[in-house]
Chains A and B, each alone.
Chain A
Amino acid sequence: MSRPILLKGGRVIDPSRRSDGTADVLLQGGRIEAVGLNILPPDGTQVVECAGKVVAPGLIDVHVHLREPGQEDLETVATGAMAAVAGGFTGICAMPNTDPVCDNQGVVGFVIAQAQRAAKARVYPIGAVSVGQKGQQLAEFGELVGAGAVAVSDDGKPVASSHLMRMALEYAKTFGIPVADHCEDPTLAAGGSMHEGIISTRLGLKGIPAAAEEIMVARDILLAELTGGHVHLCHMSTRGSVELIRRAKDAGLRVTAEACPHHFALTHESCLGYNTNAKMNPPLREDLDREAIRQGLKDGTIDVIATDHAPHHYDAKEREFDDAPNGIIGLETAFGLAMAELVNTGLLSLPDLLLRMSTTPARTFNLPGGTLATGAPADVVVLDPAIQWVVQPEAFFSKSRNTPFAGRTLTGRAELTIVRGQVAFQRTS
């Protein structure tokens, strides 16, 4: 049994209860024991001074790629879970596009076992929608959920067939899990390597029009209406998508959505000079899209900030733009970017940001955490919201270094991350 921990005198923000004020937080027996003023800790308690710091429910990322099994040279469950706690995340959801694909209870169990061995962030596997992510036959959701999967997704490969997507939404209702969709019309996006617009025209690269995403967003919304199932729209990138989701939510449909830090921080101009660390899917879009994503996060149209943490090897990105893979890592920069781009710009309050990075992710995927309520799991982060730091990829805990933010000064980062009442990460420098 680990020692109790008292987080003393911090600004305690619990978005789940809309509370924000100076308090102590006592963690004991893997649970939140008490939150209040001048808590008298039991003997043997580890006391952490938190004056000037923020104490909050641990961050939760519903969209990461851990590459294990299959591509352990890029990331493993252990290194990804370590990068997560260094970024303030106590829980992460692992996408199923591994090798083999996480479309059966065996792979789900393996990922969970690797996460237990690592004993860092909690890792929640997401099962595949279809066998082999081939878009033809439904995976065995019942067994996936039974083994510990928290959602299903064919992320990276859109569910092209509307019939299959309908069946997935219907069938997932039985198990109360969301179907997370990578929204992309494959015929419109085929061969594209960046956003279709003035920059792709200048660079002579095949573009992916915003409509490729929006068509599938619209389809998924209609299927959510048809089925009453829960569709979760991954990494929204266009202003049209935000508007479609806003209308769906106004109509009371069961639709949730996420946005990634790079989509509220960057635009397609980052691709100039054929910068492969600005190549991702969905691609970086235009100023108006970035602004719409920000507004969506402000008004709640977009429920969740998720990283789409996508490790790739240096050699794979050190290539001609068309041949480089999509994606960037994000676990260790997400909070600092969100602070710099959303909070310090006056768009979101810090409690609102923590709502989008902790409480709503937990609620959307029915995960433990996201709250400091008494008796809740002791998954807690201590953040320094004001510290300025420079992104140095060589210092990342992730195995990969593919980030467009190298050298950038960010504000705010995790100082102490506690998972199940135990210190999983403590910043030393």
Chain B
Amino acid sequence: MPTPLGKDLTALEYLSADQIRLILDTAEPFKEVSERQIKKVPALRGKTIVNLFFEASTRTRISFEFAEKRLSADTVNVASSGSSVSKGETLVDTARNLEAMHIDMVVIRHHASGSAEFLGKRIRSSVINAGDGKHEHPTQGLLDILTLRDKFGKIEGLKVAICGDLLHSRVGRSNIHGLLKLGAEVAVCGPASLLPRDVESLGVTVIPHIEDAIQWADALNILRLQLERMTAGYIPSLREYNRVFGLSTVRLDRAPKDLVIMHPGPMNRGVEIDSEVADGPHSVILPQVTNGVAVRMAVLYLLAGGAPDWAQAGGSE
């Protein structure tokens, strides 16, 4: 059954601006569902969803699970340890066996870039990418964009600087594609050793110094610095990273306007972001998490074939 998003959601790079807007608009009424006394609508009643998490995840896995349960879907969680994956079963075989039990959707988090797309091409069920290696994390990109839209009213013309380890970041790629499609200006800021080759080809500008990014931007999205980047030789030390690239109140106070500060989590306090900023008045880090559930409800709902206008009407029967 064709949906307005197609069969799978594997990357924001593959979506049109209209499809992204549809997801954001569909998420709006779902925000309210999570605020109700009884946090449940019957939209996905009878649908079976498997959450296939091959990598550690707290926020994303629980956010998807809440989204599924609040839509009344039946869900099963599979982790790589303790499953047949640890016996050497391939990704495709695992998914095909699950599919033989008549499932409707697979939410997958995997360490290999392209794994969600790979799976989507090989099974009939809808596949939702919950983060594939260093490629994309589309629902994180969508929730970041929804949070910006909540704050600014629109995305078009907005200046967003994505700061930190762009090289290894699936969050960064999804944000770049999504924001550019909706008409934002996007800059990336970080040490050149952590920027992907020819990153400008994605349509972004490079701002080498965070002080300059602060002067330029309306919003900053501060990426997590994986601690193992230091031992792998990308940066000299976490201490120096914080001193040169970290977002501190001292730096933020020099901003010409009120900036919105985002972080996809989990944070390394005192490395890429100081606690005073993370917990300060400009931070929308927790609203991001709240929006994550609504965005994922919207994606699940649309991929299950739900009508956009039904969700607009309040998501109840």
Is there an interface contact between B115 and A204, defined as CB atoms closer than 8 Å?
A: no
Q: For residue A196, which residue of chain B has the nearest CB?
A: B197
B231 to chain A, nearest CB (A): 14
Chain A count of residues within 8 A CB distance of the other chain = 21
Residue A321 contacts which of B114, B197, B198 (CB distance < 8 angstroms)? B114
Q: Which of A202, A204, A319, A321 is packed against the most chain B CB atoms within 10 Å?
A: A204
Q: Does B13 contact A (CB under 8 A)?
A: yes
Minimum CB–CB distance for A56 against chain B, Å: 42
Closest residue of chain A to B173 (Cβ to Cβ) is A204
Judge whether A205 and B199 touch: CB under 8 Å: no
Distance between Cα atoms of A296 and B202 in the complex (Å): 32
Instruction: Tell whether, in the assembled complex, residue B197 and residue A201 are in contact, meaning their CB atoms are under 8 Å apart.
Output: yes
Residues of A contacting B133 in the complex (Cβ-Cβ under 8 angstroms): 204-205, 322
The closest CB in chain A to the CB of B113 belongs to: A204
Chain B residues, CB < 8 A from A198: 197-198, 201
A318 within 8 A of B: yes
A318 vs B114: C-alpha distance in the bound complex, in angstroms? 12
For window 86-113 of chain B, which residues contact chain A by CB distance below 8 Å? 90-92, 110, 112-113
Q: Name, among B113, B133, B199, the residue most crowded by chain A CB atoms within 10 Å (CB to CB).
A: B113
* Residues A204 and B197 in contact, CB atoms below 8 Å apart: no
Q: Does B134 contact A (CB under 8 A)?
A: yes
Indicate with 1 or 0, residue by residue over A193-229, a CB within 8 angstroms of chain B CB atoms.
0001110111111110100000000000000000000
Task: Report B233-258 CB contacts with A as 1/0, cut-off 8 Å.
Answer: 00000000000000000000000000
**Docked pose: A200 CA to B196 CA in angstroms:** 8
Q: Which residues of chain A are within 8 angstroms of B135 by Cβ–Cβ distance?
A: 203-205
Q: A202-B13, A204-B133, A204-B170 are in contact. Are A321 and B113 (CB under 8 A)?
A: yes
Q: Inside 8 A of B25's CB, which chain A residues have their CB?
A: none
B13 — which chain A residues lie within 8 A by C-beta?
202
Which residues of A sit under 8 angstroms from B199, Cβ to Cβ? 201
Q: CA A196 – CA B114 in complex, angstroms?
A: 16
Separation of A322 and B202 alpha carbons in the complex (Å) = 22
Pairwise interchain contact B114-A203, C-beta atoms closer than 8 A = yes
Q: List 7 A-B contacts (CB under 8 A).
A: A198-B197, A204-B134, A204-B173, A205-B134, A318-B92, A319-B91, A320-B118
> What would 9 more interface pairs be, CB under 8 Å, given A198-B197, A274-B114, A318-B92?
A197-B197, A201-B199, A202-B13, A202-B173, A202-B202, A206-B134, A319-B90, A320-B112, A320-B113
Chain A contact residues, CB within 8 Å of chain B: 196-198, 200-207, 209, 273-274, 315, 318-323
Top 5 nearest A-B pairs by Cβ distance? A204-B135, A274-B114, A320-B112, A204-B134, A201-B196
